[in-house]
Amino acid sequence: MSRLRKAVVDWLDDNYHFGDTETLLGGDDELSFLQNGILDSLGFVKLILFLEDTVSVKISVRDIRPANFDSLGKILRYVSAMPGYREPV
């Protein structure tokens, strides 16, 4: 799980916040991405593609909802519970 967390934070850094992701999260992995400008809805599309490539899961479009993806904690719980999930290297 900690590897997945690092992969997502790195991806957010690489694509959106360029080293400031942890500062924006402020130690709160449940902070809402949408409400705090951490990721916009088009960004979610790119994040899903990244996750599918990185941890070998297939995410249904129906599941791309705030309930599953609107915070780091939600992403970690949802993705790591998916069938076929493989911890990133």
Partner 1 sequence: MSSGDLYLPLDEAHARASALHAFMEYCGRETRLEFAGYRELQDWAIRDCGRFWQLLLRWSRLEVAGDTEPAVTEFDCERARFFPNLKLNYSRNLLRSLGPGSDDHCAVTAVTEDGLHSSLTRGELRGAVERFAMGLRRQGIGPGDRVIGIVGNTPAAIVACLAAAAVGAIWSSVAPDIGEAAIRGRFVQLAPRLLVVHTEYLAHGVRRSLAQKIQDLLDDVASIATVVTLDAGAFPGRTRVGATFLSRAELEQHGALRMDEWELFPFNQPLFVLFSSGTTGSPKCLMHGAGGTLLEHYKEHVLHSSLGPGEKLCFQTSAGWMMWNWQLSALACGAEIVLFDGSPTFPTQDALLRILDREQVTVFGTSATYLHALQQLELSPKEVGGFGKLHTIQSTGSVLYDAQYDWIGKEFKRVRIESISGGTDIVGCFVLGNPLMPIYRGESQCIGLGMDVRVMTPDGLRRHGEGELVCVNPFPSRPVGIFGDSDGNRLHETYFNQNPGMWTHGDLVRLSERGSVRVLGRSDGTLNVRGVRIGPAEIYGIVLAVPGVSQAMAVEQRAPREPGGSRLLLLIVLQEGAILDRAMTLRLKKDLKLKGSSNHVPSVIVQVSALPMTHSGKFSEKAVAEMVNGKAVSNRAALKNPDALDAIAAHPELLSLLREQC
Q: What size, in residues, is the chain? A: 89
Residue in 9, 64, 76, 82 binding partner 1, rule: CB under 8 A: 64
Binding flags for partner 1, 23-52, as an x/- string (CB under 8 A): -----------xxxx--xxx--xx--x---
Question: Residue 38 — φ and ψ, nearest 5°?
Answer: -80, -35
* 6 scored as a contact of partner 1 (CB under 8 A): no
* 22 scored as a contact of partner 1 (CB under 8 A): no
Amino acid found at 36: N
State the CB neighbour count (10 A cutoff) for residue 45. 12
Residue in 1, 3, 6, 20 binding partner 1, rule: CB under 8 A: 20
Q: What share of the chain is helix, strand, coil (3-state, %, to 5)?
A: 60, 0, 40
Give the span between the Cα atoms of 6 and 88, in whole angstroms: 9
Residues that bind partner 1 (CB under 8 A): 13-14, 18-20, 34-37, 40-42, 45-46, 49, 61, 64
